[in-house]
């Protein structure tokens, strides 16, 4: 009995597939009778003969009419099912991939074959039917163009064309449904991990807009409106961890859609790998009617510009909502062919950060009475992602699991610092000091700008916030200083004391790890440094900064052009960075003038004079050290014009020599140590 005797609509997708299976049988019968009635000696029924036979041969006219009537009934029942809300996979494919009727006929035929409900009528026994393009043309008419490279079935990866024994003409190529498409037709709606790969994630239930903590709640509504426009691509610009993907997800949920996130940083920079990773994900975004979010969409730098075209080609195939998560607008986004709607995602305010700490702190964790989340957010400004990760780390501490355990500010700060040190470990190292301001021996003209630096740090939030200077100075509000002077004059020590005074961790940037010979890699590394510094509110120290902040050169080669790009990038990041950055140099004139103009404080550290050297020799000697009675520090200070760092080295050398002899530090130990230090500076005593 025909499935058409059922109700006008489909109650179940299986009924729809059963009708298509019945239709396939009619099509195979029509094809066999056409071939039987074709002129003798003709291996293939031509279009002319096909048209003639289907309009003149009574038997074939009746069969063709039955095929057409059956197709009309399937379409009518499908429309009725749609009004009833019954999801029919073949109709979903038609809508989401903008398929023509011929495409749906091909998919239905292939699904019937591959589901094992039909057999090859030209083979002996019950061998499974394997379709090629020629078979589908004979079955459905001239559908050859539906298998061109740019046609929806092939371009979206719904069908796969294979060859046996090398490249064959299109009509002889084998055709099969992609495995994932067959699974979808059979009812597997959600994507399996094997389809998404390591670079993509499917989110069936994105966060509600009310659950996304933002300084500007209306931002999600704006993004949702932009995503609803098929001619627009949304750019969410901001620092990593500020909630850009959460905003995209909440906007998708407002539109009643799911989300697929692709981390472009996990996709190898190679055309075949890019195709293999993105093509099935883009297809899945259509299957799910999801918002496709490309995370780290600005991951590819100038060195990978050759891959921009392929990336843009793939994303041009996306018919649904598309969002790019970036720190800056990628160079290739204009090639997608959509209007760009850019949204800046701000760093969370202290109040938003406080609410995030309250949300993510482990349940049941008791906080010490003197622990103030308000003070914590002022000291360590962090993104939502960083706060969540820190709270997850807190949950693993023993203090949380102890009965009556209380978390103190020290516990939280240790977690924050540990996570930051881990993220910056390959590019920077922590610098700490046991010294204090009493150990500083510098002239007043040096200390005056140093203390002005501290005043600026203490009062800038009020000056820019309450007094309105932020409106007059939208950029360059960070705290930057250049310490210039000979080696050993105390530049790094003052940096350590400033960080200690400000309650910040000091990270010395390892320029050997940051600067990369490959074009574009230096900018990536610098971006990581500034991003992590902004998250953790740390103080950055660029030691020997003249090697990185050097003057731009006249462009005579591509190398010069890319070297200048690095300097320009540094200028941009320095201007936008609102944290604390100190640079030290022995050659101030080698620093690019554009940097010097943007540096708020410039402090010159002179070589110490004789009196200062005397104070350094006396002040650096520990009280616990055993000294002979005949020590003459003034004589050594007069004879050897050493800087503070060299004097400290000489003291350690002298103490080591005295210990080796088993007695106190003698004058000759100090003299010999000073001579060695002076000689290592390139001078003769």
Q: Mind giving me the DSSP string for 424-463?
A: HTTTEEEE--S--GGG----HHHHHHHHHHHHHHHHHHHH
Specify the range with the lowest mean pLDDT, choosing from 73-82, 301-310, 323-332, 581-590: 301-310
Instruction: Name the β-bridge partners of 506.
Output: 431, 539
Tell me the pLDDT band of 394, cut-offs 50, 70 and 90. confident
Specify the range with the lowest mean pLDDT, choosing from 31-40, 108-117, 514-523, 597-606: 514-523
Measure CA 429 to chain center.
24
Tens of pLDDT, residue by residue over 413-457, are 888 777 776 677 777 888 888 888 888 889 889 999 999 988 888
Closest CA to 669 of 624, 609, 608, 621: 621
Local structure of 123: helix, strand or coil: coil
Measure CA 271 to chain center.
19
Specify the range with the lowest mean pLDDT, choosing from 222-226, 259-263, 571-575, 583-587: 571-575
Question: What percentage of the chain carries pLDDT values higher than 70?
Answer: 86
Tens of pLDDT, residue by residue over 325-351, are 998 888 888 899 999 999 999 888 888
End-to-end distance of the chain based on CA atoms, in angstroms? Answer: 113
**What does pLDDT average to over the chain?**
84
Look up tokens 């530090």; give the residue.
Answer: 665
Q: Which pLDDT score is estimated for 165?
A: 54
Q: What is the 3-state secondary structure (H, E, C) of 244-281?
A: HHHHHHHHHHHCCCCEEEEEHHHCCCCHHHHHHHHHHH
CA distance linking residue 549 with residue 544, whole number of Å: 9
Question: What percentage of the chain carries pLDDT values higher than 90?
Answer: 40
Closest CA to 503 of 417, 631, 576, 445: 417
Tens of pLDDT, residue by residue over 292-304, are 999 988 877 655 6
Tell me the pLDDT band of 182, cut-offs 50, 70 and 90. very high
Evaluate whether 290 touches 191 at the Cβ level (below 8 Å): no
**Cα dihedral sign, 323-324-328-329:** negative
Q: What angle do CA 352, 463, 358 make, to 5 degrees?
A: 15
- Tokens representing residue 119 in the block: 């057999």
Average pLDDT over residues 578-583: 85
- Tokens representing residue 56 in the block: 């003149």
Cα dist from 197 to 194, 291, 644, whole Å? 5, 18, 57
CA distance linking residue 252 with residue 223, whole number of Å: 9
Tens of pLDDT, residue by residue over 194-203, are 889 889 999 9
Q: Which pLDDT score is estimated for 136?
A: 92
Q: Long-range contact list for 671-675, CB < 8 A, 24+ apart? A: 671/636, 673/649, 674/636, 674/639, 674/640, 674/642, 674/650, 675/640
Q: Which pLDDT score is estimated for 465?
A: 66
Domains located in the chain, CATH noted: 3-185 (no CATH), 193-344 (3.40.50.300), 350-424 (1.10.8), 437-604 (3.40.50.300), 610-680 (1.10.8.60)
Average pLDDT over residues 154-165: 85
Cα dist from 664 to 482, 624, 631, whole Å? 41, 11, 11
Specify the range with the lowest mean pLDDT, choosing from 135-139, 212-216, 283-287, 556-560: 556-560
Name, in order, each residue with C-beta under 8 angstroms of 403's C-beta and a sequence gap of 6 or more.
Answer: none
Angle between helix 409-424 and 521-536 (nearest 10): 180
Average pLDDT over residues 565-581: 73
Q: Which pLDDT score is estimated for 406?
A: 79
């Amino acid at each position: 009995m025909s499935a058409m005797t059922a109700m006008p609509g489909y109650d179940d997708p299986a009924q729809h597939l059963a009708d298509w299976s019945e239709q396939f049988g009619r099509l195979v019968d029509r094809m066999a009778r056409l071939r039987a009635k074709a002129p003798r000696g003709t291996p293939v029924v031509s279009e002319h003969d096909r048209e003639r036979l289907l309009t003149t041969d009574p038997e074939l006219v009746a069969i063709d009419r039955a095929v057409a009537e059956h197709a009309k009934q399937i379409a009518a029942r499908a429309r009725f099912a749609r009004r009833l809300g019954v999801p029919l996979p073949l109709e979903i494919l038609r809508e989401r991939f903008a398929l023509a009727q011929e495409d749906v006929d091909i998919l239905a035929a292939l699904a019937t074959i591959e589901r094992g409900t039909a057999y090859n009528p030209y083979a002996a026994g019950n061998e499974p039917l394997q379709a090629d393009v020629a078979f589908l043309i004979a079955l459905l008419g001239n559908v050859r163009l539906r298998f061109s490279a740019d046609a929806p079935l092939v371009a979206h990866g719904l069908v796969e064309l294979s060859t046996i024994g090398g490249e064959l003409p299109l009509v002889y190529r084998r055709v099969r449904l992609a495995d994932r498409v067959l699974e979808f037709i059979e009812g597997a709606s959600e994507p399996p991990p094997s389809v998404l790969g390591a670079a993509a994630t499917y989110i069936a239930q994105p966060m509600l807009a009310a659950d996304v903590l933002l300084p500007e709640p209306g931002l999600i509504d704006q993004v949702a409106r932009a995503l609803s426009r098929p001619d627009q691509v949304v750019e969410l610009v901001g620092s990593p961890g500020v909630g850009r993907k959460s905003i995209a997800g909440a906007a998708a949920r407002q539109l009643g859609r799911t989300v697929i996130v692709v981390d472009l940083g996990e996709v190898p920079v190679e055309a075949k790998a890019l195709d293999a990773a993105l093509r099935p994900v883009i297809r899945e975004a259509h299957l799910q009617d999801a918002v496709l979010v490309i995370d780290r969409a600005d991951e590819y730098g100038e060195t990978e510009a050759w891959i921009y075209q392929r990336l843009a080609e793939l994303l041009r195939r996306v018919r649904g909502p598309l969002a790019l998560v970036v720190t800056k607008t990628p160079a290739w986004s204009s090639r997608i062919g959509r209007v760009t709607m850019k949204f800046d995602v701000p760093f969370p305010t202290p109040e938003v950060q406080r609410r995030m700490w309250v949300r993510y702190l482990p349940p049941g964790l008791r906080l010490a009475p003197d622990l103030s989340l308000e003070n914590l957010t002022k000291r360590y400004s962090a993104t939502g992602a960083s706060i969540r990760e820190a709270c997850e780390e807190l949950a693993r501490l023993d203090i949380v699991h102890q009965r009556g355990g209380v978390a103190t500010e020290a516990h939280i700060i240790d977690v924050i610092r540990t996570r930051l040190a881990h993220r910056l470990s390959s590019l920077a190292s922590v610098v700490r000091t046991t010294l204090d301001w009493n150990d500083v021996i510098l002239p007043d003209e040096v200390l005056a700008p140093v203390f002005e630096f501290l005043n600026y740090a203490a009062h800038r939030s009020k000056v820019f916030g309450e007094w309105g200077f932020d409106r007059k100075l939208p950029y360059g509000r960070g705290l930057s200083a250049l310490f210039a002077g000979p080696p050993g004059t105390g530049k790094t020590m003052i940096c350590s004391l400033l960080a200690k005074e400000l309650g910040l961790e000091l990270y010395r940037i390892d320029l050997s790890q940051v600067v990369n010979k490959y074009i574009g890699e230096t900018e990536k590394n610098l971006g990581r440094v500034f991003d992590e510094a902004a998250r953790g509110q740390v103080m950055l120290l660029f030691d020997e900064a003249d090697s990185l902040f050097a003057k731009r050169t006249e462009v005579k080669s591509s190398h010069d052009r890319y070297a200048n790009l690095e300097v320009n990038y540094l200028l941009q990041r320095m201007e936008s960075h609102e944290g604390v950055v100190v640079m030290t140099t022995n050659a101030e004139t080698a620093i690019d003038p554009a940097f010097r103009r943007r540096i708020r404080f410039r402090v010159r550290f002179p070589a110490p004079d004789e009196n200062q050297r005397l104070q350094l020799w006396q002040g650096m000697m520990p009280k616990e050290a055993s000294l002979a009675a005949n020590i003459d520090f003034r004589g050594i200070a007069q004879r050897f014009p050493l800087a503070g760092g060299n004097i400290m080295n000489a003291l350690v050398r002298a103490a080591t020599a005295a210990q080796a002899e088993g007695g106190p530090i003698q004058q000759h130990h100090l003299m010999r140590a000073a001579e060695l230090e002076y000689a290592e500076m390139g001078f003769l005593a």
